[in-house]
Amino acid sequence: MNVANKTIVITGVSSGIGAETARCLRAHGARVIGVDRNEPSITLEGFVKADLSEQAAIDAAFAQLPERFDALCNVAGVPGTAPVDLVARVNYLGLRHLCGRALERLPEGGAIVNIASILGAQWPERLAQHKALAEAASFEAGLAFLARHPVPQETCYQYFKEALIVWTVTQSQRWFLERGVRMNCVSPGPVFTPILGDFVQMLGEQRVQQDAHRMKRPALADEVAPVVAFLCAQESRWVSGVNLPVDGGLASTYL
């Protein structure tokens, strides 16, 4: 995996998939700058403490990042047990805003990787809604759109992961053609991370039991991280606009 001497920014770096992605990339020679609201427990080349739910805080954090970096991995996220407004801000609007800012510092050949979810797989059922939200280009315009089109608490996590997949895929080719920057999604299934319990609570025991036979077990974070790292590497230089499930085959059982 050719990421030697690349500088890569990872949000949500202090635990779970973010921490494992940092370990993987550093093991292959990359420099990792982390962004998180919590202090990291792993060695990094730099760290910025930030709340990614507010545009002003994202801009302040961005000002502390290197003048040039080679990839951005958006791993930070909150579960669907959090308030709808917070899920919207962190999992979609803030992420999208940071991607737009990153274009200022990513060179041609740079990469963006967004962590979506297997729970976003039903995006085709709401494609028109997600495209309309994608057209609300700014953070504030997105908030205004959602005020007019409220999202129910019980499905907010799925909704914004669907929206993220649609935005990533539809936006990716424009940026690839204009700037030479690739953007892709990785969609994990259940993963053994500190917030796995929140997902069980969010989905409910009945849904969890219904899906249990469809997979061998939840993933380990270090089974997802190398895929994220690969999408930052030179070997994936012709991969753009892809939503890649990393779920032990779970998605295949719904066909």
* Rounded-to-integer distance, Cα 42 and Cα 170, Å: 35
Kind and range of the H or E element at 220?
strand 219-220
Catalytic residue among 92, 157, 159, 254: 157
Token look-up 């990785």 returns 186
* Rounded-to-integer distance, Cα 92 and Cα 233, Å: 24
Active site annotation includes 159: no
Residues paired with residue 219 on neighbouring β-strands, in sequence order: 191
Characterise 29 by phi-psi region: left (phi > 0), alpha (psi -120 to 50), beta (else).
left
**3 state DSSP class of 12:** coil
- Residue 83, number of CB atoms within 10 A of its CB: 12
Residues acting as catalytic residues: 157
